[in-house]
Amino acid sequence: METPPLPEGMHEFRNADLHLIVDEQARLLYSEWVRRPSSAEYRESAGIFAECLRDRGIAYWIQDTSRLGEVPEEDLKAVLQELVPVAAASSLRKLARIASDEKSMARFLKLVNQAKAKLSTEIEIQQFRTYREATQWIWSFLRC
């Protein structure tokens, strides 16, 4: 069965481990991991995300990492090292991260706070357990 086309101004990207939807009108990026990536695939994702942030004028990002699994700290640091400067120079204002476990949430927050301190970025980051919570937080800013 063929998937109907997305509305005008919406774009989709898929590979073996990642699914992205960009809504140009809302300036929203939705990304989800569809399976646990290898270390190389995870690091490669930084370039994909960076391109979206640079080229699409993204202000809001909902990032679903619930299927991501445990990411080695060196991989997480490498991806953040590449993405944080791009995000800080972009129009990104809010990032809502969906995560499924406390350890992942705590480690991500620690590394992000370290990176934000170095760059003095104003991007607001919140972590949630569900898509509904994340979208409600983002939606509250889209209505402003």
Mean pLDDT value of segment 14-20: 93
pLDDT value at residue 19: 95
Whether pLDDT at 110 is above 70: yes
Least confident among 47-56, 97-106, 131-140? 97-106
Mean pLDDT value of segment 34-52: 93
What is the rounded average pLDDT for all residues in the chain? 85
pLDDT value at residue 60: 95
> In this structure, are residues 141 and 93 in contact, taking their beta carbons and an 8 Å threshold?
yes
pLDDT value at residue 21: 95
**Does CATH place domain 21-142 in 3.30.530?**
no
Whether pLDDT at 107 is above 90: no
Domain boundaries, the chain: 21-142
Mean pLDDT value of segment 20-32: 94
Predicted structure pTM score: 0.85
Nearest to 71 by CA among 62, 83, 80: 80
pLDDT value at residue 11: 92
Burial of 95 (0-12, 13-18, 19+ CB in 10 A): buried
